Amino acid sequence: MLRPAISCLILLLLKMHVTLAKDEVDSDEELDAEQIGGYFQGDMLMTSWQRSGLRNGSYRWPNATVYYKINSSLDEAHTDFIMRAMYLIENSSCIKFEEATDKQPYFINITNDKHGCFAHVGYLGKVQEFNIEYAPLGKRCFRLGTIVHEMLHSLGFYHQHASAGRDAYIRIIDRNIKKHLMDNFKKQSNKTVHDFGKGYDFNSIMHYRMDAFNKFKHGLTMIPLQPGAKNMGQRIAMSDTDISKLNAMYNCTVQQTESTTNLPVSDKI
């Protein structure tokens, strides 16, 4: 049963946001960049096996090494920004990113010429799409946290809000979601998503904001049911739990070095 304070918070948020039905969202600028690609949950390219709910260890990158190529049309500053995101992951885990040679049969092909930001989920043993639509540094797809978010997809992470046990932590407000986007809130089965015993994480860089895929400019689509959600949807850095899950997924033994535990609310970008 919800505590009275949390129940009051839900009612207040709904009163403030749900009633603003006149303000339809029709601009990409109003959305997180990860939502606009039109793929599963906005930014996930999925195989038929992954969509059917099969969990398979073969989706882990061999030897925890991710090979990549970056579109040569990107300028040095944008290329360095992508490399910085790779460094953040390397510095928090045993994952290594290596530039692919012409003979490398599998790698993530980092492009910037398509709409939105999106990536395949996990290792597929072939050339994999990874698109970051060109934008000024720090904006839209070129927020550092958004690039890390997409790289975690490539490493095998799904979205936190779609985890099997999410209903104990967030309430989905169906009436505020565009009908054709309802699948973006479909829960993954326990056969697909493994939390490695780390539990639900409001601070995860893989969690969407409370207004993700909303029908109205000020409408909420997710309401937290537990405390600790002030940074929900942040795109600053991996949370402690993100790092812990990544290390468990790839059997790493390094100490975590990044954290968003104490991020201020204003850093939810």
Q: Annotation-wise, does 153 bind a ligand?
A: yes
- The active-site residue out of 34, 133, 150, 258 is 150
Q: Compute the distance between CA of residue 211 and CA of residue 216 in angstroms, rounded to an integer.
A: 9
Residue 140 has pLDDT above 50, yes or no: yes
Q: Annotation-wise, does 159 bind a ligand?
A: yes
The CA-based angle 25-23-116, given to 5 degrees, is 10
Pairing of strands 117-120, 127-132: antiparallel
Instruction: Quickly list DSSP for 68-92.
Output: EEE-TTS-HHHHHHHHHHHHHHHTT
Q: What is the structure's pLDDT at 194?
A: 80
The percent of residues in the chain predicted with pLDDT above 70, rounded, is: 73
Which residue type does 90 have? E
Region at 212 (left for phi over 0; alpha for psi -120 to 50; beta for the rest): beta
Determine the average pLDDT of the residues in 165-176: 96
Select the more confidently predicted residue: 257 or 100. 100
Helix (H, G, I), strand (E, B) or coil at 119: strand
Pairing of strands 107-111, 222-224: unpaired
Q: Annotation-wise, does 17 bind a ligand?
A: no
Per-chain mean pLDDT for the chain: 80
Domain covering 4-267 in this structure, CATH number = 3.40.390.10
Question: Whole-model pTM?
Answer: 0.79
Active site residue 150: yes
CA distances from 152 to 54, 75, 147, 223, 247 (A): 19, 23, 9, 24, 12
Which residue type does 159 have? H
pLDDT in tens, 226-239: 999 999 999 999 99
pLDDT in tens, 2-54: 555 544 444 444 444 333 333 333 334 445 665 555 545 555 555 544 433 33
Backbone phi and psi for residue 13, each to the nearest 5 degrees, phi listed first? -65, -40
Q: What is the structure's pLDDT at 67?
A: 99
- Out of 84-93, 124-133, 155-164, 180-189, pick the least confident: 180-189
